[in-house]
Amino acid sequence: MNTKLKYCLILCCFFSITACNITRVVPDGKQLLVKNVIVRGDSKGVSLSDERDNLRQKPNRELLGFVKFHLWAYQYGNKGLGIRKKQPWLRRLAEKIGEAPVLIDSSKMDVTAQKMSDYYFSKGFLDNEVAYSVKPKKIFKKRASVIYSVQLHDYNLLNSVVYNVASKAIDNQLVRTKNQQRLKVGQRLDFEKIEAERNRITVLLRANGFFYFNSSFIDFQIDTNQIKHRSDLVVNIRNRKNYEPHYQQTVNKITVVIGDASKKDTLYFKGIHFIEGSYYIKPTSLAKNIIFRPNELYNANLVQKTYSNLLSMGLFNFVTIRFSPSQEDSLEHLDALIILQTAPKRDFSWEPQVISTGQSNGIEAGTERNFGLANSLTLKNRNVFGGAETFSISSLTALETQLKKDDQGVFNNFRQSINAELVIPSLVYFERKKFSEVFVRKSTRFNASFLHDRNVNYTRNVIPISFTYAFSKGRTSFGITPFRLSLNQAVIESGFLASLDPDTRFYTTQLLTNNIIAGPTASLYWNNKDKDRNKYWQIRSNALELSGNLASLYFKAFTDITGINKEILGVKYSQYARSDVDGVYNYIIDENNAVAARVYFGAGLPYGNTQFLPFERRFFVGGGTNLRAWRPRTIGPGSYSDSLSTISIEKTGELSLVGSAEFRFDIIDKLIDGAVFLDAGNIWNFRENSNFKNAEFQFNRFYKELAINSGVGLRFDLTYVVFRTDWGIALHDPSELEANRWVINNFFDQGWIFDNTAVNFAIGFPF
């Protein structure tokens, strides 16, 4: 029998045996809970997706959705096998991983039924009925499912909504924002919307001077006795103790205490009282980040933005803002005290690193990496000029190694970068513009770097210079770089160049050539994790990147030079447009299981003075973050498959489409997690090139050219960092002939595993 087939059969038998014997630790007369089933009628269009959150008993965890590994480990550690006394460390490990059997408990079923009834009640189904029964398995009598039978009937609608407000000032605020009410006549009675209205009112009032107001002053009365399936709702907003009305509070005085300040070192600026210490910070820099002022109504939103602004300055370990009744008028005035605990002025860090595979900017002194070791040194000087500026200089030395079965040898890459950055905690020039007031975490970053990158085939030196505006609003962070200049020098090893055919040699010299990249960029980051921590999106995008347009305009306006490869000071300038978007969706199933999915799309179009997108800005696939069954730059573009070189310079593209999905599950709590993943994607060029057959993107065939792999992985939680290893297994290889692309069909061939799989080591999650 084929060896691999034998191992597969043994593995299947092992799972079958362990599955049959998992009830050895279930006491007589007890039953193991294997499943909760909810049987109910039509929900009438109401989303009840979170109804299972009310279950107070859940079955034992399952690896891959069917193997009760933790229960088996518990059984092994307690009942034991014949070898447990000879190998006590295995028994201790099993006891640590193990999970006691979840036995059906009638008291917990009673609680679950009541919780579920309350849940349906909160959704408007006031007359619901929940009953339960236990259904044993036909063959395995010690296993049983619990069936919850639900009758929902009709839900209630809001017949009337009345606001009963004791305070005239509050009533005025509610009338002014009436169109924002969450509760309206004719809506389904929904306690979630009722709570949302409570929060809306609280936020509204605390943003309009009512400092002492909180949600406990709001209650709701629901009358369901007048009309069947109709409810009359009264929103009561009560006065304070002893029927004292709510007053709006005005900020009277603002005091800022900096570090080890003493009262003798004081000054006033824009109505703010600064008490200074040995750590001098210009009052102008602090005042523009404190966005509430004396004699203004208290506004909780502005206070929160002030927190964000002060913390984003990078000067303080802690920021505390306290309000207290003013001594001049304790009823309607507040005094604010802002305490700033300063961080050390200078900071030095040394960080040995394990390099993960990934693709980054490529223009800055960042990296596109394989894997290896690195050493990072960073010196940071805070408050350089007294205006909360931060200057940092860092050095990264990296030695990277890529091991491949089909290589002629070992490919080594040495990388040295030096990066200097000055961060000013404001939007230079735009800070006084009205529109900038809506942003938080504002900064202007000036960056200059040097990157030296050397391997057996070429050497690159890159000098990028840029300045960037960074700011945030709500869930979105923005980065706008009006000026960016990158000087790129490349030297190709003569022996490597001579080994290429003439057409490939021309292509390689066009990619790895001295060039200038200059132009603006814009990026953004967005996430909605604050809305639902269990289901949320994260989106990163280099929304727009342009290069060479100003230089092209100069040549058109002031010279007669035409054609491509025009030069500035003897160096060709690159002209292109580029954009990409990276979206990740996270779905937390429960405390032990989660699903994550990623979609990445990028495109770069050379035009004007550039025939090929510069090497630094081209896309590639493979490695530890996508298509984990292939090494970096060993797949694509399209179904092109002619490369025999040690480093695949031509296996880059102008368009990238990649998707990944992972099912993540817990193996050992807070120590080891597992994952099963699926990756798909490829890169393409925009234009057809006779030297690279089938490398261009075509709608009628691109889906046939997607590389697909599956695999399994382990994640080791080392508290401060997650070490990850993934084993990728190729399923569909577009570099093969179309009839042979499903390479998984040849799984049982001799040597298949070594030729079509890869093990990736990395730090952090792949996405």
**Inter-axis angle of helices 69-78 and 88-97, nearest 10:** 140
Residue 175 above 50 pLDDT?
yes
The domain boundary residue, chosen from 121, 151, 181: 151
**Residues 60, 138: one domain?**
yes
Whether 177 and 161 have beta carbons less than 8 Å apart is answered as no
Question: Is 435 strand, coil or helix?
Answer: helix
User: Does 417 map to a domain?
Assistant: no
Burial status of residue 559 (CB atoms within 10 A of its CB: 0-12, 13-18, 19 or more)? exposed
Position 670 scores a pLDDT of: 76
Write out the two tokens for 105.
Answer: 């408990």
| Alpha-carbon distances of 299 from 303, 323, 335, 404, 602, rounded to whole Å | 6, 12, 13, 61, 42
Position 100 scores a pLDDT of: 82
User: Does 274 map to a domain?
Assistant: yes
Assign 689 a pLDDT band (cuts: 50, 70, 90). Answer: confident
The domain boundary residue, chosen from 243, 263, 283: 243
Query: What digits encode the pLDDT tens for the residues 698-738?
Result: 999 999 999 999 999 998 887 777 888 899 999 999 988 88
Residue 609 above 80 pLDDT?
yes
Residue 107 above 50 pLDDT?
yes
Query: What digits encode the pLDDT tens for the residues 213-253?
Result: 999 999 999 998 888 889 999 999 998 887 788 899 999 99
Residue 56 above 80 pLDDT?
yes
Query: What digits encode the pLDDT tens for the residues 578-600?
Result: 999 999 999 988 778 899 999 99
Position 339 scores a pLDDT of: 93
Position 1 scores a pLDDT of: 46
Terminal CA-CA length for the chain: 40
Q: Quick one: what percent of the chain has pLDDT higher than 70?
A: 87
Residue 482 host element (H or E): strand 476-492
The domain boundary residue, chosen from 151, 185, 201: 151
467 vs 484: CA distance, rounded Å: 7
User: Does 632 map to a domain?
Assistant: no
Position 595 scores a pLDDT of: 94
**Residues 296, 184: one domain?**
no
Q: Looking at per-residue confidence, does 105 or 278 come out higher?
A: 105
Assign 408 a pLDDT band (cuts: 50, 70, 90). Answer: very low
**Residues 139, 235: one domain?**
no
- Where b means 16+ CB within 10 Å and e means fewer, 13-24 reads eebeebeeebbe
**Residues 94, 165: one domain?**
no
- Where b means 16+ CB within 10 Å and e means fewer, 358-395 reads bbebbbbbbbbbbbbebeeeeebebbeeeebbbbbebe
**Residues 188, 279: one domain?**
no
**Residues 171, 289: one domain?**
no
Q: Looking at per-residue confidence, does 689 or 203 come out higher?
A: 203
Query: What digits encode the pLDDT tens for the residues 310-344?
Result: 988 888 989 999 999 998 888 899 999 999 998 88
742 vs 464: CA distance, rounded Å: 43
563 backbone φψ class: left, alpha, beta (φ>0; ψ -120 to 50): left
DSSP string, 657-708: EEEEEEEEEEEETTTEEEEEEEEEEEEEBSS-BTTBTT-B--TTTGGGG-EE
Cα R_g (the chain), whole angstroms: 32
**Residues 139, 165: one domain?**
no
Q: Is the pTM of this model over 0.85?
A: no
User: Does 260 map to a domain?
Assistant: yes
Q: What are phi and psi of 591, to 5 degrees?
A: -65, -10
Residue 312 host element (H or E): helix 300-312
- Where b means 16+ CB within 10 Å and e means fewer, 602-621 reads bbbebebbbebbbbbbbbbb
**Residues 92, 122: one domain?**
yes
430 vs 477: CA distance, rounded Å: 17
Q: What are phi and psi of 156, to 5 degrees?
A: -90, 145
Q: What are phi and psi of 148, to 5 degrees?
A: -100, 115
Tell me the mean pLDDT in the region 666-694. 88
User: Does 391 map to a domain?
Assistant: no
Assign 25 a pLDDT band (cuts: 50, 70, 90). Answer: confident
Tell me the three-class secondary structure of 454-476, residue by residue: EECCEEEEEEEEEEEEEEEECCE
606 vs 654: CA distance, rounded Å: 9
Residue 576 above 90 pLDDT?
yes
DSSP string, 96-108: HH-----B--HHH
Residue 365 above 70 pLDDT?
no
User: Does 718 map to a domain?
Assistant: no
Range(s) of the domain holding residue 203: 157-243
**Residues 125, 81: one domain?**
yes
The answer, yes or no, to whether the previous bond of 352 is cis (omega within 30 of 0) is no
Position 12 scores a pLDDT of: 53
Residue 499 above 90 pLDDT?
no
Q: Residue 271 is part of a domain; what is its CATH number?
A: 3.10.20.310
The residue with tokens 């602004």 is 309
Position 401 scores a pLDDT of: 53
Beta bridge partners of 679: 660, 709
What average pLDDT does the structure give for the chain? 84
Position 523 scores a pLDDT of: 95
**Residues 122, 29: one domain?**
yes
Lowest-confidence segment of 417-426, 594-603, 641-650, 663-672 by average pLDDT:
641-650
User: Does 81 map to a domain?
Assistant: yes
Q: What total of structural domains would you count in the chain?
A: 3
Position 409 scores a pLDDT of: 43
Q: Looking at per-residue confidence, does 303 or 269 come out higher?
A: 303
**Residues 236, 277: one domain?**
no
User: Does 492 map to a domain?
Assistant: no
